[in-house]
Chains A and B, each alone.
Chain A
Protein backbone atom coordinates (compact mmCIF):
# COMPACT_ATOMS: atom_id res chain seq x y z
CA UNK A 1 0.00 0.00 0.00
CA UNK A 2 0.91 3.65 -0.10
CA UNK A 3 3.32 4.89 2.54
CA UNK A 4 4.68 8.22 3.64
CA UNK A 5 8.22 8.45 4.97
CA UNK A 6 8.44 11.32 7.41
CA UNK A 7 11.77 12.57 8.72
CA UNK A 8 13.30 13.19 11.07
CA UNK A 9 11.52 11.04 13.66
CA UNK A 10 12.45 13.48 16.41
CA UNK A 11 14.20 16.80 16.86
CA UNK A 12 15.69 18.52 19.89
CA UNK A 13 16.32 22.19 19.23
CA UNK A 14 17.05 25.42 21.05
CA UNK A 15 14.42 28.12 21.25
CA UNK A 16 14.87 30.55 18.38
CA UNK A 17 16.21 27.98 15.93
CA UNK A 18 14.55 27.17 12.62
CA UNK A 19 13.12 23.69 12.02
CA UNK A 20 12.73 21.68 8.82
CA UNK A 21 10.95 18.39 8.33
CA UNK A 22 9.73 16.52 5.28
CA UNK A 23 7.60 13.73 3.91
CA UNK A 24 8.38 11.62 0.89
CA UNK A 25 6.58 8.87 -0.95
CA UNK A 26 6.90 6.70 -4.02
CA UNK A 27 3.28 7.59 -4.82
CA UNK A 28 1.77 10.78 -6.19
CA UNK A 29 -0.65 12.74 -4.03
CA UNK A 30 -3.24 15.35 -4.96
CA UNK A 31 -3.16 17.21 -1.67
CA UNK A 32 -0.72 17.51 1.21
CA UNK A 33 -1.76 18.43 4.74
CA UNK A 34 0.30 19.20 7.81
CA UNK A 35 -1.04 18.63 11.33
CA UNK A 36 0.24 19.28 14.84
CA UNK A 37 -0.70 17.11 17.80
CA UNK A 38 -0.11 18.09 21.41
CA UNK A 39 -0.16 15.54 24.25
CA UNK A 40 -3.66 14.27 25.03
CA UNK A 41 -5.23 16.11 22.11
CA UNK A 42 -6.35 15.36 18.59
CA UNK A 43 -4.36 16.52 15.54
CA UNK A 44 -4.94 20.13 14.51
CA UNK A 45 -4.70 21.18 10.87
CA UNK A 46 -1.90 23.67 10.25
CA UNK A 47 -1.57 24.00 6.47
CA UNK A 48 -3.22 22.50 3.39
CA UNK A 49 -1.51 22.38 -0.03
CA UNK A 50 -3.36 21.69 -3.29
CA UNK A 51 -0.99 22.39 -6.19
CA UNK A 52 2.43 21.07 -7.09
CA UNK A 53 5.03 23.72 -6.29
CA UNK A 54 2.66 25.61 -3.98
CA UNK A 55 4.26 27.43 -1.05
CA UNK A 56 1.91 28.38 1.80
CA UNK A 57 2.55 30.13 5.10
CA UNK A 58 0.68 30.22 8.39
CA UNK A 59 2.47 32.60 10.75
CA UNK A 60 5.95 31.19 11.38
CA UNK A 61 5.10 27.99 9.53
CA UNK A 62 5.77 27.51 5.82
CA UNK A 63 4.96 24.39 3.84
CA UNK A 64 5.64 23.40 0.25
CA UNK A 65 4.03 20.90 -2.12
CA UNK A 66 6.88 19.25 -4.02
CA UNK A 67 6.84 19.64 -7.80
CA UNK A 68 7.03 15.87 -8.29
CA UNK A 69 3.86 15.54 -6.13
CA UNK A 70 5.72 12.90 -4.12
CA UNK A 71 6.96 15.06 -1.29
CA UNK A 72 6.22 17.98 0.99
CA UNK A 73 8.21 20.10 3.43
CA UNK A 74 7.37 22.02 6.58
CA UNK A 75 9.55 24.76 8.04
CA UNK A 76 9.10 26.50 11.38
CA UNK A 77 11.04 29.71 11.86
CA UNK A 78 12.27 31.09 15.19
CA UNK A 79 10.88 28.23 17.27
CA UNK A 80 9.26 28.88 20.64
CA UNK A 81 8.43 26.48 23.51
CA UNK A 82 4.76 26.18 22.47
CA UNK A 83 5.89 24.63 19.15
CA UNK A 84 6.47 21.40 21.08
CA UNK A 85 4.39 18.51 19.78
CA UNK A 86 4.22 15.89 17.08
CA UNK A 87 3.91 17.10 13.49
CA UNK A 88 2.23 14.82 10.97
CA UNK A 89 2.13 15.04 7.23
CA UNK A 90 -0.80 13.54 5.35
CA UNK A 91 -1.26 12.92 1.65
CA UNK A 92 -4.59 12.65 -0.06
CA UNK A 93 -5.13 9.86 -2.51
CA UNK A 94 -8.23 9.44 -4.62
CA UNK A 95 -9.82 5.98 -4.60
CA UNK A 96 -12.98 4.44 -5.94
CA UNK A 97 -13.22 6.40 -9.17
CA UNK A 98 -12.38 9.71 -7.58
CA UNK A 99 -15.48 9.99 -5.47
CA UNK A 100 -13.75 9.68 -2.14
CA UNK A 101 -10.28 10.65 -1.02
CA UNK A 102 -8.60 9.05 1.95
CA UNK A 103 -5.65 10.49 3.85
CA UNK A 104 -2.42 8.57 4.34
CA UNK A 105 -0.46 9.76 7.38
CA UNK A 106 3.25 9.85 8.08
CA UNK A 107 4.44 8.53 11.44
CA UNK A 108 5.22 11.98 12.76
CA UNK A 109 8.13 14.17 13.78
CA UNK A 110 8.37 14.78 17.52
CA UNK A 111 9.65 18.28 18.22
CA UNK A 112 11.20 19.30 21.53
CA UNK A 113 12.22 22.91 22.14
CA UNK A 114 14.67 23.84 24.87
CA UNK A 115 14.08 27.32 26.33
Chain B
Protein backbone atom coordinates (compact mmCIF):
# COMPACT_ATOMS: atom_id res chain seq x y z
CA UNK B 1 0.00 0.00 0.00
CA UNK B 2 2.04 2.94 -1.33
CA UNK B 3 -0.46 5.69 -0.44
CA UNK B 4 0.01 8.70 -2.72
CA UNK B 5 2.84 8.55 -5.24
CA UNK B 6 4.18 11.31 -7.50
CA UNK B 7 6.49 11.32 -10.49
CA UNK B 8 8.94 12.73 -11.25
CA UNK B 9 10.63 13.68 -7.98
CA UNK B 10 12.72 16.43 -9.61
CA UNK B 11 12.40 18.27 -12.92
CA UNK B 12 14.17 21.17 -14.62
CA UNK B 13 12.44 22.89 -17.54
CA UNK B 14 13.24 25.79 -19.80
CA UNK B 15 10.75 28.62 -20.15
CA UNK B 16 8.05 27.64 -22.64
CA UNK B 17 8.47 23.88 -22.29
CA UNK B 18 5.54 21.71 -21.29
CA UNK B 19 5.31 18.80 -18.92
CA UNK B 20 2.87 16.66 -16.96
CA UNK B 21 3.20 15.81 -13.29
CA UNK B 22 1.75 12.45 -12.42
CA UNK B 23 -0.05 11.44 -9.24
CA UNK B 24 -1.58 8.12 -8.25
CA UNK B 25 -3.22 6.88 -5.06
CA UNK B 26 -4.16 3.41 -3.89
CA UNK B 27 -6.23 4.53 -0.88
CA UNK B 28 -9.56 4.57 -2.76
CA UNK B 29 -9.97 8.32 -2.24
CA UNK B 30 -12.75 9.99 -4.20
CA UNK B 31 -11.23 13.48 -3.94
CA UNK B 32 -7.75 14.45 -5.09
CA UNK B 33 -5.86 17.74 -5.00
CA UNK B 34 -2.86 19.56 -6.43
CA UNK B 35 -1.02 22.14 -4.34
CA UNK B 36 2.07 24.23 -4.81
CA UNK B 37 4.37 25.19 -1.96
CA UNK B 38 6.58 28.24 -2.09
CA UNK B 39 8.91 29.52 0.67
CA UNK B 40 6.95 31.40 3.31
CA UNK B 41 3.64 30.86 1.49
CA UNK B 42 2.38 27.60 2.89
CA UNK B 43 0.37 25.33 0.58
CA UNK B 44 -1.89 26.83 -2.06
CA UNK B 45 -4.55 24.86 -3.91
CA UNK B 46 -4.18 24.77 -7.71
CA UNK B 47 -6.94 22.37 -8.78
CA UNK B 48 -8.98 19.64 -7.22
CA UNK B 49 -11.18 16.76 -8.29
CA UNK B 50 -14.12 15.89 -6.06
CA UNK B 51 -14.75 12.66 -7.94
CA UNK B 52 -13.77 10.81 -11.08
CA UNK B 53 -14.68 12.88 -14.12
CA UNK B 54 -14.89 16.26 -12.34
CA UNK B 55 -12.29 18.98 -11.79
CA UNK B 56 -12.47 22.46 -10.29
CA UNK B 57 -10.18 25.44 -9.91
CA UNK B 58 -8.54 26.26 -6.62
CA UNK B 59 -6.82 29.42 -5.44
CA UNK B 60 -4.03 29.60 -8.07
CA UNK B 61 -5.12 27.77 -11.28
CA UNK B 62 -3.63 30.08 -13.93
CA UNK B 63 -1.06 28.37 -16.15
CA UNK B 64 -2.15 24.84 -15.21
CA UNK B 65 -4.53 22.16 -16.43
CA UNK B 66 -5.54 18.90 -14.82
CA UNK B 67 -6.95 15.54 -15.82
CA UNK B 68 -8.66 13.02 -13.57
CA UNK B 69 -7.88 9.98 -15.68
CA UNK B 70 -9.62 7.52 -13.37
CA UNK B 71 -10.23 7.18 -9.65
CA UNK B 72 -6.55 6.47 -8.97
CA UNK B 73 -4.81 9.05 -11.14
CA UNK B 74 -4.85 12.85 -11.21
CA UNK B 75 -2.31 14.65 -13.41
CA UNK B 76 -1.21 18.29 -13.53
CA UNK B 77 -0.03 19.82 -16.79
CA UNK B 78 2.02 22.92 -17.45
CA UNK B 79 1.49 23.85 -21.11
CA UNK B 80 4.11 26.61 -21.29
CA UNK B 81 6.26 26.73 -18.19
CA UNK B 82 7.27 30.07 -16.68
CA UNK B 83 9.89 30.87 -14.01
CA UNK B 84 7.03 31.84 -11.67
CA UNK B 85 6.01 28.18 -11.69
CA UNK B 86 9.23 27.13 -9.99
CA UNK B 87 7.91 25.47 -6.87
CA UNK B 88 7.34 22.21 -5.05
CA UNK B 89 4.14 20.49 -6.16
CA UNK B 90 2.17 18.17 -3.91
CA UNK B 91 -0.68 15.85 -4.76
CA UNK B 92 -3.10 14.74 -2.05
CA UNK B 93 -6.05 12.43 -1.61
CA UNK B 94 -8.86 12.98 0.84
CA UNK B 95 -10.39 10.62 3.35
CA UNK B 96 -13.55 11.35 5.32
CA UNK B 97 -14.60 14.90 6.13
CA UNK B 98 -11.34 16.68 5.47
CA UNK B 99 -8.24 14.61 6.18
CA UNK B 100 -5.85 14.88 3.26
CA UNK B 101 -2.87 12.64 2.68
CA UNK B 102 0.04 13.97 0.68
CA UNK B 103 2.54 12.51 -1.75
CA UNK B 104 6.30 13.15 -1.49
CA UNK B 105 6.26 16.09 -3.90
CA UNK B 106 7.80 17.11 -7.24
CA UNK B 107 10.48 19.78 -7.14
CA UNK B 108 10.22 21.81 -10.34
CA UNK B 109 12.65 24.46 -11.53
CA UNK B 110 11.86 26.58 -14.58
CA UNK B 111 14.85 28.40 -16.04
Seen from chain B, the residues whose Cβ lies within 8 Å of a Cβ on chain A are 4, 31, 40-45, 48, 50, 56, 58-59, 90, 92, 97-105
Contact = CB atoms under 8 A, between A and B. Distances in A.
B11 to A, nearest CB: 15
Contacts of B50: 99-100
Contacts of A96: 56
A42 B98 contact: no
Contacts, number: 59
Main secondary structure of the interface of B (DSSP, over half): strand
7 contacts: A30-B97, A33-B98, A92-B97, A100-B56, A103-B43, A103-B100, A105-B44
A102 B45 contact: yes
* Chain A contact patch, size range: 20 to 34
Contacts of B90: 42-43
B102 A31 contact: no
Contact of B98 (A31, A40, A99, A108): A31
Interface in A45-71: 45, 48, 50
Given A35-B102, A42-B103, A100-B48, 17 more contacts: A30-B97, A30-B98, A33-B98, A42-B92, A43-B102, A44-B102, A50-B97, A88-B42, A88-B43, A92-B98, A99-B50, A100-B31, A100-B56, A102-B45, A103-B98, A105-B43, A106-B42
